[in-house]
Structure 1
Amino acid sequence: MHPQDFEAPVIRQLREDLALALRAAAHHGLAEGVCNHFSVELPDGSGRFLLNPRGLLWQEIGADDIVMVDGHGEKLAGRHAVEPTAMFIHAAVHRIAGKACVLHTHMPYATALTLTADRALDTTLSQNAMRFHDRVAIDDAYNGLALDTSEGERIARAMAGRDVAFLGNHGVIVCGDRIAHAYDDLYYLERACLHQVLAQSTGRPLAPVAAELAHKVGQQAQGERLQSELFFEALRRLL
């Protein structure tokens, strides 16, 4: 890759957007140390993608900190190192699940639900939860740290075409075609999980809606993506 490619306007914008999503996640309490990764595939079909680097807190990441890697995890551009383990999940999800933007976190409330027997959010409870109805996959076969290609591929296949995956005893993956849409989903997924955990903590019986209504609300939310973009631009002004 020619070094100038990294500064091409379309790639520069993706770098800025990815850095913004990472800072927003830190702002919203979704980060965990210097762990976890956000990635976005380049739109040229090359299999290359952008990724946050090793060892930086999400709150300090700017566009110039983002690195570019190929589908095998080889760094192509950027001033920082790449964490090898990042590649095992992200490269597989990009390649096998065909997802352009992949956000992987251990955010507190969503992760808490992966520790329960149900493993995931109940998408018939809150309005926020209903936006994910028919979109959630559950991978309940926790197999330790993702330290090899086969584990990342197993996780990618377990997603079964869904764009949200709850990884048992681990965390979550949220995917999307655009960074703004994926981040909006990540934020509201954690809010929905927070509401469910709070409701369960009361000890009172929960009151789900019919699956048909949850499906309708989910379709309505998918049709309101302008709201996702407005939210992301508001975060750009704030952060």
Structure 2
Amino acid sequence: MSYFSFDFDSPLVVSLREDLALALRAAASHGLGEGICNHFSVAIPGSDDLFLLNPRGLMWGEIQADDIVMINSLGDKVAGQHEVEPTAMFIHAAIHQITRKVCVLHTHMPFATALTLTEGGALDTTLSQNAMRFHGRIAVDHEYNGLALDTSEGIRIANAMGRADIGFLGNHGVVVCGERIDYAYDDLYYLERACNAQVLAESTGQRLRRVDAELASRVALQVQSERLQSELFFAALRRTM
């Protein structure tokens, strides 16, 4: 396949690189990163198998647009100055190809990951208001098979997610997907806030107060039907990062 029409330095791709780098730096600032591990990716519009990804070996807080790499669904680097970490290729390529999500954010952020270690394995979306925005949007994958070092594990994770926006990966971490980088990052941030609140509430040992599923569904619809707040949050990050 020729990638001539997907110029790495075209205005559209440069803009996506800038936004992806911003999301990574913001995640580092918000304590959502883990060393040089975990990855964010975004599909190139108009392409069936090209996406942008953060490279191997860089801290999220130092990543700039020029550090982002472009790879295809086979894991071949198409453009960029850095190398690609294998597990990123296998997980992200499979999710993009199978679920057709535009933006895929994978982290081991602490409170969400803590919930993947529990028997329930995920956020309770009938607790906090922040949690309710994810009601009906979460898939739980309880099967952990070690590092994703081949295509089969990436495919398994992608199939386990199905049509869900959020995947809780048992004993591992989370995946947050979206149709835009700003929407996906907003979900990632508030997912960790909701998980934080749940872990703190559970630590009190007191009985938790849940709302009914109908109310949680209504709150989720309210958030999804108007995402201006997500856009404004990302714009504020752009000004301040």
Question: Normalization by structure 2: what TM-score?
Answer: 0.98
What are the equivalent positions in structure 2 for 1:211-226 lying under 5 Å apart? 211-226=213-228
Aligned-pair CA distance for 1:216: 0.2
Which structure 2 residues correspond to residues 77-92 of structure 1 after superposition, within 5 A? 77-92=79-94
Structure 2 counterpart SS, 1:16: helix
Partner of 2:50: 48
Aligned runs of 1:1-239 on 2, under 5 Å?
1-2=3-4, 5-239=7-241
SS of 1:138's equivalent in the other structure is: strand
Where structure 2 has 5 or more consecutive residues not aligned to the other structure, the ranges are: none
Q: Which residue identity does 1:144 align to in structure 2?
A: G
> Residue by residue, what CA displacement relative to the aligned partner does 1:14-59 show, whole Å, maximum 9, x if unpaired?
0000000000000000000000000000011331000000000000
> 2-side partners of 1:157 and 1:55: how far apart?
29
For 2:145 and 2:84, the matched residues in 1 are separated by 23
For the residues of structure 2 that align with 1:112 and 1:106, how far apart are their CA atoms? Answer: 9
CA distance in 2: counterparts of 1:38 and 1:60, whole angstroms = 14
Instruction: Report Cα offsets for 1:130-161 as digits up to 9, x if no partner.
Output: 00000000000011111110000000000021
Q: What percent of counterpart residues are identical?
A: 69
Distance 2:126 2:5 in 1: 49
What's the offset of the Cα at 1:2? 3.9
Shift of 1:4: 8.0
Would you say the 8 A contact 1:3–1:77 is kept in 2?
no
Separation of aligned partners in 1, 2:17 and 2:147: 27
Separation in structure 1 between the aligned mates of residue 167 and residue 233 of structure 2, nearest angstrom: 23
Deviations 1:154-209 (A, max 9, x none): 00000021010000000000000000000000000000000000000000000000
CA distance in 2, matches of 1:107, 1:90: 17
Letter aligned with residue 167 of structure 1: L
Once the two structures are TM-superposed, the CA of residue 84 in structure 1 deviates from its matched residue by 1.6
CA distance in 2, matches of 1:22, 1:3: 26
TM-score, normalising length: structure 1: 0.98
* Secondary structure of 1:141 counterpart: coil
- C-alpha change, 1:163 and 1:4, in structure 2 (3 Å) is closer
User: Structure 1 runs of 4+ off > 2 angstroms?
Assistant: 1-4
Separation of aligned partners in 2, 1:43 and 1:220: 28
Q: CA RMSD in A?
A: 1.0
